Structure 1
Amino acid sequence: MTHPDSIPADLSTGERIQLLRESRGMTRPVLAGLCGRGPDWLKKIESGARELRSHTLLLRLAAALQLSDLSMITGDSSDVTQPVPQGRLSHPAMPAIWSAVMSRPLAPAAAEPPDMAVLQGRVDQTWQLWHTSKRQRTEVGALLPDLIRQAEAATRTAEDNQRRRALVALSDVYRLVGQATAYVAPAELAWVAADRALSSAQEADDPAAIAAAAWNMGNILRETAYPEEALRVVVEAASLIRPHLDGAPDDWRGVYGALHLHAAVTCARDGRDGDAWRHWDAGDQVAKSLPAAYVHPSTVFGRANVDFHGVSVATDLRQNGTALSRSDEIDPDVMPSLERRSRLWVEVARGHLQRGDRTAALHVMGIAREISHETVAYTPSARAVAADLWRKAPRAFRSEAADLAEAIGVSAP
């Protein structure tokens, strides 16, 4: 990352933004997308063809570049720091989860070997709760601290093949930590959880667990502005598990398909149209090879999720006509995950916003919130849509837009 003292004083605001963006390895589409704008807008800002006068957009750029001082962009030479609100959301479950993750004992406690069937059953039930609860962060967050400690203890007391099963269960738990604390966890906790999920799976030498943990690591990398690394991790994981798929359980093929869908979204956010649809097609082929009703227990890969990702890919590529026509062909109720179903409607709302139809966007955001309030309240893309609607909703719907924004804690400038 560029140090403030290394930025030439005579650079314009646009030139500073470009230097800071490139020092983080971010592409224009990624940074522009994090600010709710298109790459052409950012290109004009960086080249000086367009002046950046909005303080709000300056703050969004600074936050997306993970800067603590706005003067790194503005070049203000005063000694007064211009702090940048990072927008990290908070959730009451975080302190207990933090304590469980960060207070892992170094020495094994004296205990009876665990019943691995019972432990894995608890883990699977908690994943199921994540997908079926309208308040998934709150309900899963309440269970995670004890589950983390139990899974950690199991790896220290189980022996031989039972220890491998304990390591897989621990990897599953830390993947769930990543899901339940996304956008609310401090960066260090997110990285610790992702690394423990992957290292536990590798120690167990379980290809499916490694692939699932890589999928989770890819989420962390992509959401912290490392799209190339995210793509590398999931593509490598797909290559590792591919030779094991012939005759493998359906869930192994399910996680393989999920890796391709992850790659599709990562490429789409980077504006790589051909690569995005190539990976989506690969996921589509996997879904066709599985039973029609198949759903992967944690990634929810299956026919419905492939179709949902088609909407996401088109939206991220700003192909709003394609996104909306694809969404018209989907029956949302076939998706067993309420969290994913709610996110679909957020993607549809984004597509309507891209077409300038804020009335339709407001309507479908209401549907998304009804399905899962916490998904809307804690997902940045949903909050960005709500903030946009609050600022620019048609006069007849401003009260409704304000109610939505207030309900999920969005404050529009």
Structure 2
Amino acid sequence: MDLPDDLSTGERIRRLRESRGMSRPVLAGMCGRGPDWLKKIESGERELRSHSLLMALAAALQVSDLSVITGGVPEVAQSVPLGRLSHPGMPGIWAAVMNRTMSPAPGVPVDVAALQARVDQTWRLWHTSGHQRTEVGALLPDLIRDAERATRTHDEAARRAAHVALSDVYRLTGQATAYVAPAELAWVVADRALTAAQQADSPSAIAAAAWNMGNILRETSYPEEALRVVAEAAELIRPHLDGAPDDWRGVYGALQLHAAVTYAREGRDGEAWAAWDRGDQVAKSLPAAYVHPSTVFGRANVDFHAVSVATDLQRSQRALSLADDIDPDTMPSAERRARLWVEVARGHLQRGDRTAALHVMQLAAKISIETLAFTPAARTAAADLWRHAPRAMRAEAARLGEAVGVAAG
């Protein structure tokens, strides 16, 4: 469908919806919103800033390129996930998840301790590799099958430990396939992580799986449900924190930071900082060098999240000031360090400083190019720079856009 260049985003959405014979309630419902919300978007009464909602609308309208909705330069590719997406590891992961056998597991029982060690090692790879999706994605199919088999080949005590490992595997699968998995896979993976943790009857595993479920809910435009899940998980684990291992407090703190970002993306300033404060207090109760093995909760991650909260609240000056006081090298996760620089770039873009934004995006790309290539906020920032970089910086912005995959070479 050819749309005039001068149409607003809301007008484009309305024309696309009407061309497909969709009513407002139907399209809004597919995005987890009400018809009044969509009416305000289409009329221009409300600005649509949420990238995840833009992606949800594009997918519901079966638009494969986001620029059809947002307008702008047509050469900027902003692909929309309409099915099984473009990472080479996805077919193997899809097969392992969706073709789960129901028959008893044959062969020698899986060594649960060795399985958990493999899972822990793969989590470390996720956080230390600059190509984490590719490297971890190659290992996940076997891990998923072995973890599933382990839950069916042991007695009660070992089976509970196997379910903890299985929950960890599915949480890692959720991380590694975020933004590239079709929606049905994302939901199956999140649900299996939570179910396995509940079968293990482990409060810390349940809380970690709820953190993962909250991520899926938030990124698929269900913020209230995400907040409910993480709040319930926090209440579940809270009575066990006195005398519990550090990792139990670590996942409890991660739930608070999740809530902080979710509130911030909804523009709920006071609640966002209150949740961040709760996470900050948890970090202060842990050893200074503590880092949770999967969520990387700790002092550095709390500070990183302060930048994210300020950026999501459109408080760019505060975000950049907070970032100035952070030493990124205190964070052991390359993926998280790269995302910090993306947040800083977003802060610079909010102020219109594209030269500074390009510089920090280049820093992020050196740390983990896959984080940029498969994270919507990073892709949006790279596309903005490719379109609008100062003349002297256009060649560098084009190279970044090509590396991230938002601009053709």
Structure 1 length as normaliser, TM-score? 0.84
- The CA deviation string for residues 378-413 of structure 1, in whole angstroms up to 9 with x for no partner, is 11100000000011100110111011001111038x
Q: In structure 1, what is the Cα distance between the partners aligned to 2:124 and 2:214?
A: 22
Q: Is residue 168–residue 206 contact of structure 1 (8 Å, CA) maintained in 2?
A: yes
Letter in 2 for 1:266: T
- The CA deviation string for residues 278-317 of structure 1, in whole angstroms up to 9 with x for no partner, is 1000000000000000000000000000000000000000
Q: Does 2:245 match 1:252? A: no
Q: In structure 1, what is the Cα distance between the partners aligned to 2:172 and 2:30?
A: 32
Q: Corresponding residue for 1:86?
A: 80
Q: Corresponding residue for 1:80?
A: none
Q: In structure 2, what is the Cα distance between the partners aligned to 1:65 and 1:15?
A: 10
In the superposition, relative to structure 1, how do residues 386 and 116 fare at CA in structure 2: closer, same or farther (>3 Å)?
A: same
Q: In structure 1, what is the Cα distance between the partners aligned to 2:30 and 2:126?
A: 37
Q: Corresponding residue for 2:73?
A: none
- The CA deviation string for residues 84-134 of structure 1, in whole angstroms up to 9 with x for no partner, is 963465110111111111111101122333222111100000000000011
Q: In structure 2, what is the Cα distance between the partners aligned to 1:200 and 1:144?
A: 17
Q: Corresponding residue for 1:8?
A: none
Q: Does 2:64 match 1:68? A: no
Q: Does 2:380 match 1:387? A: no
Letter in 2 for 1:64: L
Q: Does 2:319 match 1:323? A: yes
Q: In structure 1, what is the Cα distance between the partners aligned to 2:34 and 2:287?
A: 39
Q: In structure 2, what is the Cα distance between the partners aligned to 1:137 and 1:164?
A: 28
Q: In structure 2, what is the Cα distance between the partners aligned to 1:253 and 1:391?
A: 44
In the superposition, relative to structure 1, how do residues 318 and 106 fare at CA in structure 2: closer, same or farther (>3 Å)?
A: same
* C-alpha deviation, 1:65, in angstroms: 5.8
Q: Does 2:332 match 1:336? A: yes
Structure 2 length as normaliser, TM-score? 0.85
Q: Is residue 14–residue 46 contact of structure 1 (8 Å, CA) maintained in 2?
A: no
In the superposition, relative to structure 1, how do residues 67 and 289 fare at CA in structure 2: closer, same or farther (>3 Å)?
A: same
Q: In structure 1, what is the Cα distance between the partners aligned to 2:91 and 2:367?
A: 27
Q: Corresponding residue for 2:186?
A: 190
Letter in 2 for 1:86: V
In the superposition, relative to structure 1, how do residues 395 and 288 fare at CA in structure 2: closer, same or farther (>3 Å)?
A: same
Letter in 2 for 1:258: A
* C-alpha deviation, 1:67, in angstroms: 1.8
Q: Corresponding residue for 2:239?
A: 243
- The CA deviation string for residues 350-399 of structure 1, in whole angstroms up to 9 with x for no partner, is 00000000000000000000000110111110000000001110011011
1:158-169 superposed matches below 5 A: 158-169=154-165
Of structures 1 and 2, the one scoring higher in RCO (CA 8 A, sep 6+) is 2
Gaps of 5+ in 2: 1-12, 69-77
For the residue of structure 1 that corresponds to 2:181, the secondary structure is coil
How many correspondences in the alignment?
372
Q: Does 2:383 match 1:376? A: no
Q: Corresponding residue for 1:3?
A: none
For the residue of structure 2 that corresponds to 1:157, the secondary structure is coil
Aligned counterpart for 1:98 among listed residues 80, 89, 94: 94
In the superposition, relative to structure 1, how do residues 85 and 329 fare at CA in structure 2: closer, same or farther (>3 Å)?
A: closer
Please give the root-mean-square deviation of Cα atoms over the aligned residues, in Å: 2.8
- The CA deviation string for residues 144-203 of structure 1, in whole angstroms up to 9 with x for no partner, is 111111101000001110000000000000000000011111111111110100000001
- The CA deviation string for residues 37-70 of structure 1, in whole angstroms up to 9 with x for no partner, is xxxxx96x54456999xxxx9xx84753642357
Q: In structure 1, what is the Cα distance between the partners aligned to 2:335 and 2:45?
A: 41
1:335-374 superposed matches below 5 A: 335-374=331-370
Q: In structure 2, what is the Cα distance between the partners aligned to 1:171 and 1:249?
A: 19
Q: In structure 2, what is the Cα distance between the partners aligned to 1:171 and 1:382?
A: 28
Aligned counterpart for 1:306 among listed residues 298, 302, 307: 302
For the residue of structure 1 that corresponds to 2:151, the secondary structure is helix
For the residue of structure 2 that corresponds to 1:173, the secondary structure is helix
Q: Corresponding residue for 2:218?
A: 222
Aligned counterpart for 1:130 among listed residues 126, 129, 132: 126
Q: Corresponding residue for 1:211?
A: 207
Q: Corresponding residue for 2:75?
A: none
Letter in 1 for 2:172: L
Q: Corresponding residue for 1:407?
A: 403
Q: Is residue 167–residue 203 contact of structure 1 (8 Å, CA) maintained in 2?
A: yes
1:148-187 superposed matches below 5 A: 148-187=144-183
Letter in 2 for 1:202: Q
Percent of residue pairs bearing the same amino acid type = 71
In the superposition, relative to structure 1, how do residues 90 and 14 fare at CA in structure 2: closer, same or farther (>3 Å)?
A: closer
